[in-house]
Amino acid sequence: MKFVVTINISGHLKDLYPHLEAQQTVELEQPVTVSGLIAARGISSKMVLFATIDDRIVDKQLLVEQSCTINLISPPAGG
Amino acid sequence: MLYGYAGKILKVNLSTQEKDIGDTPSELVENYLGGRGFVARLLYDLLEPGTDPLGPDNVVVVATGPLSGHLLPGSGKTHFGALSPATCGYGDSNMGGHFGPALKYAGFDCLILEGAADQLSTLVIDDDEIKIISAGSLQGKGAIDAEKELKEQLGEDFQVITIGPAGENRVAYACISHDFGRQAGRTGVAAVLGSKNIKAVAVRGTKAIPLYDPQAALKKGEEMYRVCFGKPGFKTWTPYGTASITGWANEVGAFPTRNFQTSYADFHHKINGQAIIDRLLVTDKGCFGCPTPCGKYGHAKTRVGSAFVEGPEYESIATLGGSCCLEEIEEVAYANYVCDQLGLDTISAGVVVSFAMECFEKGVISVADIGREISFGSLEDVVYLLEKIAAREGIGAILAGGVKPAAAAFGGGSERYAIHVKGLEWSGYECRNAPGMMLSYMTADVGAHHNRSWALGYDVSQSDADVSELIEAGAGGALEVSSPEGKVDHVISMQHSRPLYDALGICRLQTMEIGFETFHYEEVFELITGRRLTWQEMLAISERIWQLTRQFNVKHIAGFGRSWDYPPLRFMEEPVTTGPNKGRFLKKEILDQMLDEYYEKRGWDENGIPGAEVLARFGLKP
The domain spanning residue B186 has which CATH number?
Answer: 3.60.9.10
Q: Is the pLDDT of residue B477 over 90?
A: no
Q: Is the pLDDT of residue B419 over 70?
A: yes
Do residues B182 and B315 both lie within one domain? no
Provide the pLDDT confidence category of residue A29 given band limits of 50, 70 and 90.
confident
Most B CBs within 10 Å, among A41, A43, A45, A50, to test the B interface: A50
Task: Provide the 10 A C-beta neighbour count for residue B486.
Answer: 12
List Cβ neighbours of A31 (8 Å cut-off, separation of 6 or more).
A3, A63, A64
Q: Is the pLDDT of residue B473 over 50?
A: no
What is residue B617's predicted lDDT score, i.e. its pLDDT? 95
A23 in any annotated domain? yes
Annotate B187-210 with b (16+ C-beta within 10 A) or e (fewer): bbbbbbbbbbbbbbbbbbbeeebb
Query: Which amino acid, one-letter code, is at B327?
Result: E
Q: Is the pLDDT of residue B478 over 70?
A: no
Q: Is the pLDDT of residue B532 over 80?
A: yes
Find chain A residues with C-beta within 8 A of B251's C-beta.
Answer: 46
A78 in any annotated domain? no
Q: Is the pLDDT of residue B64 over 50?
A: yes
Do residues B26 and B104 both lie within one domain? yes
Residue among B235, B244, B252 minimizing CB distance to A46:
B252
* A14 touching chain B per CB within 8 A: yes
8 Å CB contact between B606 and B538:
no
B373 in any annotated domain? yes
Q: DSSP per residue over B148-177, as a string? A: HHHHHHH-TTSEEEE--HHHHTT-TTB-EE
A10 in any annotated domain? yes
Question: Hey, is B281 helix, strand or coil?
Answer: strand
Residue where a domain stops, chosen among B177, B204, B231? B204
Task: Provide the 10 A C-beta neighbour count for residue B88.
Answer: 19
Phi, psi (deg, nearest 5) at residue B95: -140, 145
Residue where a domain stops, chosen among B432, B457, B479? B432
Q: Is the pLDDT of residue B71 over 90?
A: yes
Strands A23-28 and A69-73: unpaired
| A2 CA: distance to closest CA in chain B (Å) | 25
Domain of residue B87, residue span: 8-204
Any bridge partners for residue B114, and if so which? B13
B608 in any annotated domain? no
Do residues B187 and B253 both lie within one domain? no
What is residue B343's predicted lDDT score, i.e. its pLDDT? 98
| Whole-angstrom distance, CA of residue B193 vs CA of residue B162 | 9
Domain of residue A40, residue span: 3-73
| Whole-angstrom distance, CA of residue B377 vs CA of residue B367 | 17
8 Å CB contact between B414 and B407:
yes
B173-207 pLDDT per residue, tens: 999 999 999 999 999 999 999 999 999 999 999 99
B344-400 pLDDT per residue, tens: 999 999 999 999 999 999 999 999 999 999 999 999 999 999 999 999 999 999 999
Find chain A residues with C-beta within 8 A of B429's C-beta.
Answer: 78
CA neighbours closer than 13 Å in the CB half-sphere of residue B590: 24
Most A CBs within 10 Å, among B186, B229, B245, to test the A interface: B245
CB B231 to CB A10 under 8 A?
yes
Do residues B268 and B398 both lie within one domain? yes
B355 in any annotated domain? yes
Do residues B18 and B121 both lie within one domain? yes
Average pLDDT over residues B475-496: 72
Provide the pLDDT confidence category of residue B471 given band limits of 50, 70 and 90.
very low
* A75 touching chain B per CB within 8 A: yes
B143 in any annotated domain? yes
Largest CA distance in chain A: 45
Query: Which amino acid, one-letter code, is at A15?
Result: D
A79 in any annotated domain? no
Q: Is the pLDDT of residue B611 over 70?
A: yes
Average pLDDT over residues B483-501: 90
Do residues B26 and B158 both lie within one domain? yes
Do residues B265 and B192 both lie within one domain? no
A31 in any annotated domain? yes
8 Å CB contact between B80 and B93:
yes
Find chain A residues with C-beta within 8 A of B515's C-beta.
Answer: 9-11, 14, 22
Strands B129-134 and B121-126: antiparallel
* A77 touching chain B per CB within 8 A: yes
Do residues B111 and B244 both lie within one domain? no
Cα dihedral B27→B32→B34→B39 (10° resolution): -100
A24 in any annotated domain? yes
8 Å CB contact between B135 and B199:
yes
B37 in any annotated domain? yes
Q: Residue B271 has what DSSP assignment?
A: S
Closest by CA position to B51, among listed B61, B59, B62: B59
Mean pLDDT, chain B, rounded, equals 94
Do residues B101 and B194 both lie within one domain? yes
Q: What domain count does chain A have? A: 1
Q: What domain count does chain B have? A: 2
Closest by CA position to A9, among listed A56, A64, A68, A71: A71
Do residues B41 and B148 both lie within one domain? yes
8 Å CB contact between B123 and B160:
no
CA neighbours closer than 13 Å in the CB half-sphere of residue B366: 1
What is residue A79's predicted lDDT score, i.e. its pLDDT? 62
Query: Which amino acid, one-letter code, is at A68?
Result: C
Provide the pLDDT confidence category of residue B483 given band limits of 50, 70 and 90.
low
8 Å CB contact between B259 and B357:
yes
Average pLDDT over residues B4-26: 98
Average pLDDT over residues B464-477: 46
Task: Provide the 10 A C-beta neighbour count for residue B411.
Answer: 11
B244-263 pLDDT per residue, tens: 999 999 999 999 999 999 99
* A33 touching chain B per CB within 8 A: no
* A57 touching chain B per CB within 8 A: yes
A27 in any annotated domain? yes
| B620 CA: distance to closest CA in chain A (Å) | 30
| Whole-angstrom distance, CA of residue B304 vs CA of residue B266 | 24
B136 in any annotated domain? yes
Do residues B167 and B307 both lie within one domain? no
The winner for highest mean pLDDT among A6-10, A46-50, A65-69, B382-386 is: B382-386
What is residue B474's predicted lDDT score, i.e. its pLDDT? 42
The winner for highest mean pLDDT among B375-389, B459-473, B579-593 is: B375-389
**CATH number of A23's domain:** 3.10.20.30
| Whole-angstrom distance, CA of residue B402 vs CA of residue B577 | 25
Residue where a domain stops, chosen among B381, B411, B432? B432
Query: How many residues are listed for chain B in this entry?
Result: 622
* A18 touching chain B per CB within 8 A: no
Least-confidence region, from B166-175, B509-518, B566-575: B509-518
Do residues B336 and B399 both lie within one domain? yes
**Nearest residue on chain B to A49, judged by CA atoms?**
B248
Average pLDDT over residues B573-585: 92
A14 in any annotated domain? yes
B374 in any annotated domain? yes
Average pLDDT over residues A54-58: 86
Most B CBs within 10 Å, among A23, A38, A55, A73, to test the B interface: A73
Q: Is the pLDDT of residue B466 over 80?
A: no
